[in-house]
Chain A
Amino acid sequence: MPTDRPTAAELVEAVREFLADHVAPNVEGQLAFHTRVAVNALAIVERTMAQGGAMDAAELSRLKDLLGRDGDLAEMNEALARAIRTGEMDDQGAAVLDHLRQTALDKIALANPRYLTPRG
């Protein structure tokens, strides 16, 4: 991947800051709402670029343990989904649930980390 600075991540950050600091304060209504949504979406991309690789590696390692074999992440996830549906994983329920919860936590850490903070 030939590239100079700013890196892809730094460009996404620049666009997010532009939308948040220069566009959002100057629009209103539906456009302001969609601008905030766009800012949040770019933040997901930034977090994914920073943390996604390590999360993928950990997920793949857990899948190997659960399924007892090797494969790529997409194919292993598909195999797990199919095995849960057919009941093949029923006798490993607790281990499957642990894996799924960790995976869901990682997804939220990327998509909306504030979700797990109590509000009111």
Chain B
Amino acid sequence: MEAAQDPGKTAAEQLAEVLRDRLAEEYGPGAEIEGLVRLSGGASRETWSFDAVMPDGARRPLILKRDPMDRQADKQFDGVPGGRLAVDRLTEGRLFQLAGAAGAPVPTVPFFLAKDQRTTAGFFSHRLAGEALGRRILREDAYAQARPRLAFQVGHAAARFHAIDRDLLPPMRGLPADGELLHYRTIMDSFHQPHAGFEYGFRWLQERLEQAGDRYALNHGDFRNGNILVNGDGLCGVLDWESAHLGNPISDLGWMCVRSWRYGYHDKVVGGFGDVSEMLDGYEAGGGGRVDPAEVYFWQVFGTLRWGILCMILGFTHIDGEQRSVEYAAIGRRAAETEYDLLQLLD
């Protein structure tokens, strides 16, 4: 049974009915939905913000993240079984819970939304006060006290969620370092657009595979400035777990160092706010042990290459017609920026 939009109602009206019914199950009857607004314009997920107001006046600020109602099939690639590494919404919500229990700062996920004829599957989280836009985190005075702490804090948080017992994790795909390289190279090959710059990156990584280290754990998969929530005191939430998978966890630390998330503050390698040594101090303090900066560098190179391939994916999502979009077409050309960044990192 596929969820369908009732043509007689707006998307928000239909969702408000779903929410009232679901909240009645959790909080008892009479919950009113106020301020329901869709946050992301992204095509691949829907994120909604609202307040549940109880009959006694108690107000619960919540976020719902669910699969889109007009869902496009995920893009598939020749030779890449299962397509991109990603998890479904129920798994994503479960990862918030596990990361929180492991001591990482994440919004609480109190309950889920099951798929039925009116809605796709999703999960709810408490809406925290904070800023998630990377540019603002780096620029605004309100975060001046927070910025010097962030590199340590993101390292600490990563160590906590990397330590989650693998037996507790929901089923998800996993790839060791060489498998992950092959995964992205096969995606690139599926576009039949020879790319000498990215080939050079793959060759560099292939020749230095031992530098990747041999850790294997939960990867957040998109751990960067832009997916963290920051308040005046520093890091208060790690968001967007939809790219989670098993793999070398230092990949998360390298991804945090990719130049694109520095928003122009290039002297601060970690997210535009800090240094690698601070992040690794935080990682050690969080129980992750001592990490060789050369491992982080390997994964920073990998991350830069991966971001280039992800730009290509969006470009070809437009070119191949899965979703015609001037935005995706333009992002396809951003691969040149990551190619330049990549080549600056290599010798």
- Which A residues contact B (CB, under 8 angstroms)? 30, 33-34, 37-38, 40-41, 44, 77-78, 80-82, 84-85, 87, 90, 93, 96-97, 100-101, 103-105, 107-108, 110-112, 115-116, 118-120
Contacts and interface: CB of A to CB of B under 8 A. Distances in A.
Interface string B227-268: 000000000000000000000000000000000000111100
A73 to B, nearest CB: 11
B278 interface: no
Nearest to B138: A120
B215 interface: no
A107 B339 CA distance: 9
Contacts of B41: 30, 33
Interface in B151-210: 194-197, 199-200, 202-203
Contacts of A77: 194, 196
B196 A100 contact: yes
A90 to B, nearest CB: 8
A84 B336 contact: no
Interface residues of B, number: 29
Contacts of A107: 336, 339-340
Contacts of B197: 100, 103-104
B327 interface: yes
A37 B328 CA distance: 10
Given A81-B194, A82-B194, 17 more contacts: A37-B326, A38-B326, A40-B330, A84-B196, A87-B203, A97-B200, A97-B343, A97-B347, A100-B343, A103-B196, A104-B340, A108-B337, A108-B340, A112-B334, A112-B336, A115-B340, A120-B139
B333 interface: yes
A108 B261 CA distance: 18
A115 B326 contact: no
A101 B201 CA distance: 12
28 contacts: A33-B41, A33-B327, A40-B330, A41-B326, A41-B329, A41-B330, A44-B333, A78-B194, A81-B194, A81-B195, A84-B199, A93-B347, A100-B196, A101-B340, A101-B344, A103-B197, A104-B340, A107-B340, A108-B337, A110-B336, A111-B333, A112-B333, A112-B334, A115-B340, A116-B340, A118-B266, A119-B264, A120-B265
Interface string B315-347: 000000000001101100110110110011011
Nearest to A116: B340
A102 to B, nearest CB: 10
A112 B337 contact: yes
Contacts of A93: 347
B305 to A, nearest CB: 13
Interface string B285-322: 00000000000000000000000000000000000000
Nearest 7 A/B pairs, CB to CB: A119-B264, A107-B336, A81-B194, A78-B194, A104-B340, A84-B199, A111-B333
A85 B203 contact: yes
A114 to B, nearest CB: 10
Contacts of B347: 93, 97
A44 B326 CA distance: 13
Contacts of B330: 37, 40-41
Contacts of A80: 194, 196
Nearest to A93: B347
